[in-house]
Amino acid sequence: EMCVQELNQIFGESDRPATFADTLEMKFLERCLLEALRMYPPVPVIARKLQEDVKLVSKNCTVPKGATIIIATTITHRLEQYWDNPDVFNPDNHLPEKAAERHFYSFIPFSAGPRSCV
């Protein structure tokens, strides 16, 4: 319903095609799309082969060069340390002030960094 209200504010009774400028006004719709990507990421698992040894300070161990690292975005996107009520659809998770508080890699629906898909 809030998406419909937002679109009605932008378009009113007009049946004109959406412009790029219109899409920039669709803040709530954008947050809904981001939240859908968080809950159901299109890339559920990311695999990377280490190019060098990596020391994990938190586990006091080293992962050797050549090892394959698996990142499960489906798990990352539901960690309570980053998301309040992670199993509940909440577009407000993607308000700018909330996103600024989270770790950069807590939301990676298409991977992230130099090998990101998008």
Query: Could you tell me which residues are annotated as the binding site?
Result: 117
Both tokens assigned to 100: 């600024």
111: helix, coil or strand? strand
**Binding-site sequence positions for heme:** 117
CA distance 71 to 111: 9
Both tokens assigned to 66: 């050549």
- The alpha helices in 52-114, defined as continuous H runs, are 73-76, 96-101
Both tokens assigned to 50: 């280490």
Both tokens assigned to 42: 């299109």
